[in-house]
Chains A and B, each alone.
Chain A
Amino acid sequence: MTTLTPVVVIIEDDPPIRRFLRTGLRTQDFTIYEAATGKQGIIEAEVRKPDLIILDLGLPDMDGVDVINAIRAWSTVPIIILSARSNEQNKIDALDAGADDYLTKPFGFGELLARIRVALRHSTQTGAATNPEVFTNGDLTIDLHNRVVTIAGEDVHLTPIQYRLLTVLIKHPGKVLTHQQILKEVWGPSYQENAHYLRIYMSQLRQKLEANPTQPKYLLTESGVGYRFKA
């Protein structure tokens, strides 16, 4: 039955925001459970077995990151966090702790729905556990088996690092990856401090893949947080 109406747990202390999320999401056929505190949220997450959790980082009783850690201890359920503006480090911490995506208040409902859909799709895909051999997005095609990247049918030559970076990004399409996460996957744990490596290679990748590198279609920057491959 869960496949028909996805279950969403909202952990948020502000009643008006809860009301707007509840009203909006119900029209989209979600089953909603609410929690006003972190502790209650963790219990709801255990009891309701949700398909997605929406978590506010500014909870009165505990740190949002601790809530994520508590849930991640036993579940890989997608978590979308809500946070206040100009608090990049908080978002990064939450993402590094295992959150899947974030939204900055105030946000539009359309934005939220899009994120929820990406997160749900991603979780069902990883559930299916089979990555396709060939990844296609618009003009861009990546043949993971033959390690060939083409744009509108034309071959693009990538260096090994550029290729590795690209594959890390397309592994999680639509998902925000923090600098740390990408650095760790591409260069290894000892390169955590060298965020500029990532920026330079990302810049090179854009030069090769994007028609207009300053208005990218695929390789999006999440300001101050990380990168996202547009799904």
Chain B
Amino acid sequence: MNDQRPDPDELLARVERDKAKARRGRLKIFFGAAAGVGKTFAMLQAAHERRGENLDVVIGLVETHGRKETLALIEGLEILPTRKIEYKGKQLEEFDLDAALKRHPSIILVDELAHSNIPGTRHPKRWQDIQEILDAGIDVYTAVNVQHLESLNDAIDQISGIKVRETVPDTVFEGADEIELIDLPPNELLLRLKEGKVYVPQQAKEAANHFFRQGNLIALRELALRQTANRVDAQMLDYREDNAIQEVWQVGERIMVCIGPNGLAERLVRAGKRLAASLRADWIVAYVETPELQRLSSIKRDAVLRVLRLAEQLGAETVTLSAPNMSNAIIRYAQERNINKIVVGKPSRRGWKRWVLGSVVDVLISHAHNINIYLLGSPRNDAEDGLEVTSALKKAPLPGLKQQTPSRIRKRYIGYLWAFVVTGFSTLIAWLMFMKLELANLVMVYLLGVVFVATRFGRGPSVLASVLGVGLLDFLFVQPYFSFSVTDSEYLLTMIVMLIVGLVISNLMANVRSQAKVAFVRERRAAVLYTMSKDLASSQTEQEIVRIAVKHLHSEFGSRNVILFPNPIGRIVYPNQNDIIESYHGADLSVAQWVFEHNETAGQGTHTLPGAEAVYFPIHDGDRVLGVLALLPINLRRIFLPEQQKLLETLLRQIGQALLRIRISEQTKSTQMQIEAERLRNSLLSAISHDLRTPLATIVGSASTLLEDNVHLKPEDKLDLSRAILDEAERMSNLINNILDMARLDAGVIKLNKQWHPVEEIVGTVLTSLQKHLIGRKVNVEIPPGIPLIYADAVLIEQVLINLIENALRYTPTGTNIDINVETLQQQVKIAVADYGPGIPQGQEKHLFEKFYQANKEGAQSGVGLGLTICRAIVEAHGGSIGVHNKPEGGAVFTFNLPNDQPPPELEES
């Protein structure tokens, strides 16, 4: 044994475990055999010690039952107020989980780990409250008695005859960081009971007396001690692993418990749990659903479902296998998962049936070579095919599961009716052919009927048809007629063969039918997945994904659904738009918020907030929760059946992936937009700096020349320089005006001051203000009479015209004309500015109105290229449109339309 180093994977797992534990709070359980041993007392003492170490200790909830010693210990500790809840007209007190989370002490005391909460609180069980506190990083002290441990539930029942309702999953107990056993010999406990020091509720006195018998107490004490010893043992093993002591090294034990739809299932699970615990092994509970088992009534299937849930609570991994042959499926799965121990029930078939039809156990034993098989016997008087589930499980309700629908019962009933009808019809045909044909051929006629019934109505009716057929054949066609007695032994053989053939056909057909049904269901499921993933793949927006998801979930589960997303500060909010028919209104946002924060399912049919109307599922992309699906089921079974649950999980994963894809593409888009904005800003800066510096250079140069050399300059030179300064300053002023206008239009601060204006006045104002620039140009204005007033902001429309005319001046040779035409179109006034220049280069018509675009970048004409953009912004703000085209004979025409859809005001002549 040179290699003493621990397995690296194991080490890693331990580091992970330690890390998880460091974040989580530590759980300490004060563990006892029965009430009255002094758990609460010990817990309070420990609390005082911690307080003495200056830790922040708070009592979340402690039951003192009025005992003086205990009461005395509460003194000096902070007590969290309980939550008062109205339930069935009574005021009840309950541990206040939210207050505890808000107060966030370092240690909190919460008594009675196994307590069941009043309906309406967040979790149905107190241990779930405690899990949440631990998750928040708070240490918890709590107390529990041995009879509340889930895996010991049936053992306790056997010992004491008392069924304990409030149980704690073993995982909680095993997950505890520290267990302190509070032990008291039974004699002393009985003494304390006599002295009245043990709290016993008044109404349960008799049961309590029955419970507190010496024999019971000894047995319970033994269980408690053994449980603690097991734990110590496990700790010892951990210690050895930690310290690389490898002498006892058990390689990955893995146990598989196979359950069927019978009363043994629950016991198998508990036995599996105990075996797994003692071997410190992983364990899997498997249920194989064969076509036969799919025909089971929904009540029985629900029972199986409950057992699987129990197994999960006990810490098992559960799996539902779907296969035509049970033993093959078990062996294949066992080999896949490296299982080395299988726990099954004793074969249910006995005697000749086991020999003829075989048994799952026999096949397992002969085929699974490396696997140990553990058989569990059925106790006492369980029926051979005991389909009943123990009463305790029956009482654990699975809300929303409904009984079989009457229509299905009616359908089956009709099948039997048809068996009679078809057999009657066969008899009629046989009767017609009786004289001509041999008996063997009549048998064929009946068998044909059996085949027909089997294909259409399944096993039951076809078995009926076989039996009826044999009976009728005997009665009507076999001598002596009209009697069931048979004279010829040959006929007897015929009839026996006929019966067997009929039954075999029934069975075969039934299997074919159910396999076809299974295949159909699978295909449908695959189709659902396919169509949804196809739809999701082509979706472009979150809205679309939501719509697709809601629709598909509705068609698959019949549920009303809504997908809720968090707002930027992480609070789940209602969606803005809600125009889908299948959407669910009135989701509980607080439940959704919990689901979003904890990444766990909650709501109806779950452990958390089961009082909610809907079921809430987190939608995540693998590590982050993106949203929450609230699903209002019409029938919970359709969601919680294992295969359905798997389908739902797959659908949710797909939705999550689609959402992730959209998020990523949105991010990319916004990055692109940022890049675009950046590019724009850069081009603006370079354009502005160029266009501002050029005139500044002239101004500074001219002005400094005037200053420096006042003597030698001729008067006309001075004039020239001064004019240059003025021109360039005006150019700069225009540019700055444009930039400011653009900024104001972009920011949306411009409010249109719309009034009624004659077009010619606007044109006139523009021409007057441009007078200086229009020298040497001829402007032809054509405004036909009868042009209506336009409803517009005159100052802005003037700006449009000024920009268009300046544009024409800039890009056309001096001396060419400019035409301004106004015409009315239907509901529009069209104003066109045409020039006689070179026109717009092909393909640039659209870009001209973009920011900082200049048709001729290298040209001497300056201007940042904002003029036309401003025009477009103004015209569009008026609800109009602007465009440009070249005249066939040359020259560009800028045209803008303004809406003229309001009647101008009446003019009263006075």
Any chain B CB within 8 A of the CB of A221?
Answer: yes
- Complex Cα distance, B799 from A88, in Å, reads 14
- Complex Cα distance, B904 from A199, in Å, reads 13
Cβ distance B744 to chain A, nearest Cβ, rounded Å: 8
Contact pattern, A 189-215, Cβ under 8 Å of B = 1, otherwise 0:
000001111011011001000001111
With A106-B729, A106-B733, A196-B789 given, is the CB distance from A221 to B760 under 8 Å?
Answer: no
Contact of A200 among B758, B764, B779 (CB under 8 A): B758
Contact assessment for B760 and A200 in the assembled complex, using a CB-CB cutoff below 8 Å:
no
Contact assessment for B764 and A199 in the assembled complex, using a CB-CB cutoff below 8 Å:
no
Contact assessment for B760 and A203 in the assembled complex, using a CB-CB cutoff below 8 Å:
yes
Q: Could you say which interface size class chain A belongs to?
A: 20 to 34
Any chain A CB within 8 A of the CB of B481?
Answer: no
Cβ distance A92 to chain B, nearest Cβ, rounded Å: 11
Cβ distance A108 to chain B, nearest Cβ, rounded Å: 7
Any chain B CB within 8 A of the CB of A148?
Answer: no
Any chain B CB within 8 A of the CB of A85?
Answer: yes
Contact assessment for A213 and B755 in the assembled complex, using a CB-CB cutoff below 8 Å:
no
Count residues on chain B whose CB falls below 8 Å from chain A CBs. Answer: 33
Any chain B CB within 8 A of the CB of A161?
Answer: yes
- Complex Cα distance, B279 from A9, in Å, reads 106
Contact assessment for B795 and A213 in the assembled complex, using a CB-CB cutoff below 8 Å:
no
With A106-B729, A161-B910 given, is the CB distance from A214 to B757 under 8 Å?
Answer: no
Nearest chain B residue, comparing its CB with the CB of A188: B910
Any chain A CB within 8 A of the CB of B52?
Answer: no
- Complex Cα distance, B761 from A212, in Å, reads 11
- Complex Cα distance, B730 from A196, in Å, reads 33
With A106-B729, A161-B910, A196-B905 given, is the CB distance from A215 to B757 under 8 Å?
Answer: no
- Complex Cα distance, B741 from A108, in Å, reads 22
Any chain A CB within 8 A of the CB of B798?
Answer: yes
Any chain A CB within 8 A of the CB of B101?
Answer: no
Any chain A CB within 8 A of the CB of B550?
Answer: no
Any chain B CB within 8 A of the CB of A27?
Answer: no
- Complex Cα distance, B795 from A190, in Å, reads 26
Contact pattern, A 169-191, Cβ under 8 Å of B = 1, otherwise 0:
00000000000000000010000
Contact assessment for B798 and A223 in the assembled complex, using a CB-CB cutoff below 8 Å:
yes
Task: Specify which of B730, B764, B910 lies most central, judged by the most chain A CB atoms within 10 Å of its CB.
Answer: B764
Cβ distance B776 to chain A, nearest Cβ, rounded Å: 15
- Complex Cα distance, B798 from A85, in Å, reads 14
Contact pattern, B 337-377, Cβ under 8 Å of A = 1, otherwise 0:
00000000000000000000000000000000000000000
Q: Which residues of A contact B794 (CB under 8 A)?
A: 223-224
Any chain B CB within 8 A of the CB of A36?
Answer: no
Contact pattern, A 137-180, Cβ under 8 Å of B = 1, otherwise 0:
00000000000000000000000010000000000000000000
Any chain A CB within 8 A of the CB of B756?
Answer: yes
Q: Which residues of A contact B767 (CB under 8 A)?
A: 214-215
Contact pattern, B 752-785, Cβ under 8 Å of A = 1, otherwise 0:
0101111011011101110000000001010100
With A196-B756, A200-B758 given, is the CB distance from A88 to B768 under 8 Å?
Answer: no
Q: Which residues of B contact A194 (CB under 8 A)?
A: 905
Contact of B757 among A86, A161, A199, A212 (CB under 8 A): A199
Contact pattern, A 22-48, Cβ under 8 Å of B = 1, otherwise 0:
000000000000000000000000000
Contact pattern, B 730-754, Cβ under 8 Å of A = 1, otherwise 0:
1001000100110010000000010
Any chain A CB within 8 A of the CB of B248?
Answer: no
Any chain B CB within 8 A of the CB of A216?
Answer: yes
Contact pattern, B 788-811, Cβ under 8 Å of A = 1, otherwise 0:
010000110010000000000000
- Complex Cα distance, B755 from A195, in Å, reads 8
Cβ distance B773 to chain A, nearest Cβ, rounded Å: 14
Any chain A CB within 8 A of the CB of B414?
Answer: no
With A199-B756, A203-B760 given, is the CB distance from A214 to B789 under 8 Å?
Answer: no
Any chain A CB within 8 A of the CB of B726?
Answer: yes
A-B contact pairs, 5 of them (CB 8 A): A196-B757, A206-B761, A221-B761, A221-B768, A223-B798
Q: Report B's interface with A, CB cutoff 8 A.
A: 726, 729-730, 733, 737, 740-741, 744, 753, 755-758, 760-761, 763-765, 767-769, 779, 781, 783, 789, 794-795, 798, 904-905, 907, 909-910
